[in-house]
């Protein structure tokens, strides 16, 4: 496999990075990087870390980073998690308030501990901390419960002070969304499976409305809704399928779509195959006071969607 860290890859312009990944020779990982400056979304780091965990450290080849921003990758723990040495020296900073380095989470207990330690570290206001904790909890629990991923979830996050935004990346190399959804729904493509997974009340664990006692099929819909209301980017990539919620223009009315394809978005069903699932989210913290209002809209949208789906299943009288 070959991965190139480009000059820039954030959710708005991440598509070329995803398309450029060379997945031949899966027993090796070769990392190259832009020589002048590298500025990438945490989801890019979580993807590279996830790839590296499936490969022996001696089979990971990383070219010497020359970019002036090379220290960032040491601080985020990329070389450490890949188990490869780095000659880049840094002055260690307290991560508090700025970033969450690459972290591997494999159990429910590890997740609860991570969230309880992460929230105070990020020095966020109460409402903002709730939103961040909410997103991390729902996304990582999805991995732990559905992905059957040997290495669990790989995540990292970065706070960008100038734009008051947190960017989060969570990746796994498990079975992928299509395999999970196909346990209950006959999604033909990865993109179709992503569409179903983002709808409220759709879960791979059952076709029964209301879900099972442990799963409702609402987690990804909530996350997409938070990004949608905040007018932020949200991406999900699994198999060859890719969905990107695009930034929408500012309007006073808060509306949600149960069908993600009705949102302003881009999609692709022919990316290099990703074994597992990749999720990237941007959360503009200025907007998070709207979380409470968002819950009102989610309640209405969810109720309406379940009712319509339930009624669509009603048997009709036969008039002969």
Partner 1 sequence: MKLILIFARAGTFAENKDVARDIRMEDIMPALEKNEDIVLDFSEVEAATQSFIHALISEVLRKYGPRALDRLAFKSCNDTVKKIISIVVDYMQESMGIESDENQT
Which parts of this chain interact with partner 1 (CB under 8 A)? 108, 111-112, 115-116, 119, 126, 130, 133-134, 137-138, 141, 200-201, 208-211, 213-216, 218-219, 222, 291-292, 295-296, 298-299, 302-303, 306-307, 310
Least distance between partner 1 and beta carbon 229 (Å)? 14
Nearer to partner 1 by C-beta: 222 or 237? 222
HEC assignment per residue over the chain: CEEEECCEECHHHCHHHHHHCECCCCCCEEEEECCCCCEECHHHHHHHHHHHHCCCHHHEEECCCCCCCCHHHHHCCHHHHHCCCCCCCCCCCCCCCCEEEEEEECCHHHHHHHHHHHHHHCCCCHHHHHHHHHHHHHHHHHHHHHHCCCCCEEEEEEEECCCCEEEEEEEECCCCHHHHHCCCCCCCCHHHHHHHHCCCCCECCECCCCCCCCCCCCHHHHHHHHHHHCCCCEEEEEECEEEEECCCCCCCCCCCCCCHHHCCEEEECCCCCEEEEEEEEEEEHHHHHHHHHHHHHHHHHHHHHHHHHHHHCCCCCCCC
Nearer to partner 1 by C-beta: 111 or 153? 111
Least distance between partner 1 and beta carbon 281 (Å)? 15
Nearer to partner 1 by C-beta: 185 or 291? 291
Nearer to partner 1 by C-beta: 110 or 268? 110
Least distance between partner 1 and beta carbon 37 (Å)? 37
Sign of CA dihedral 166, 171, 177, 183: negative
Least distance between partner 1 and beta carbon 21 (Å)? 31
Least distance between partner 1 and beta carbon 240 (Å)? 28
Nearer to partner 1 by C-beta: 32 or 137? 137
Nearer to partner 1 by C-beta: 56 or 299? 299
Least distance between partner 1 and beta carbon 131 (Å)? 9
Nearer to partner 1 by C-beta: 85 or 120? 120
Nearer to partner 1 by C-beta: 93 or 316? 316
Are 174 and 202 spatial neighbours (Cβ–Cβ below 8 Å)? Answer: no
Sign of CA dihedral 268, 273, 278, 280: negative
Are 201 and 211 spatial neighbours (Cβ–Cβ below 8 Å)? Answer: yes
Least distance between partner 1 and beta carbon 157 (Å)? 16
Least distance between partner 1 and beta carbon 66 (Å)? 42
């Amino acid at each position: 496999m070959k991965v190139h860290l480009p000059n820039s890859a954030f959710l708005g312009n991440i598509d070329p990075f995803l398309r450029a990944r060379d997945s031949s020779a899966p027993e090796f990982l070769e990392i190259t990087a832009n020589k002048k400056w590298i500025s990438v979304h945490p989801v890019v780091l979580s993807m590279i870390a996830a790839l590296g965990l499936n490969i022996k450290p001696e089979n990971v080849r990383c070219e010497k980073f020359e970019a002036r921003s090379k220290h960032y990758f040491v601080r985020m723990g990329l070389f450490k998690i890949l188990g490869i040495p780095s000659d880049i020296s840094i002055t260690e900073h307290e991560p508090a308030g700025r970033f969450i380095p690459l972290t591997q989470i494999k159990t429910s207990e590890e997740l609860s501990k991570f969230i309880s330690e992460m929230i105070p570290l990020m020095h966020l206001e109460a409402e903002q901390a709730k939103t961040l904790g909410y997103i991390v909890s729902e996304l990582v629990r999805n991995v732990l419960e559905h992905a059957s991923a040997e290495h669990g979830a790989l995540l990292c996050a970065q706070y960008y002070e100038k734009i008051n935004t947190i960017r989060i990346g969570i990746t796994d190399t498990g079975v992928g969304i299509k395999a999970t959804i196909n346990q209950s729904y006959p999604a033909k493509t990865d993109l179709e499976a992503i569409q179903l997974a983002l709808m409220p009340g759709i879960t791979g664990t059952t076709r029964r409305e209301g879900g099972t006692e442990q799963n409702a099929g609402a987690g990804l819909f909530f996350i997409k809704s938070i990004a949608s209301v905040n007018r932020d980017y949200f991406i999900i990539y699994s198999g060859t399928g890719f969905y990107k919620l695009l930034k929408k223009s500012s309007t006073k009315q808060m509306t949600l779509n149960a069908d993600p394809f009705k949102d302003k978005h881009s999609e692709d069903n022919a990316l290099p195959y990703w074994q597992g699932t990749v999720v990237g989210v941007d959360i503009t913290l200025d907007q998070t006071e709207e979380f409470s209002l968002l819950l009102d809209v989610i309640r209405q949208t969810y109720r309406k969607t379940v009712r319509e789906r339930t009624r669509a299943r009603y048997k009709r009288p036969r008039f002969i």
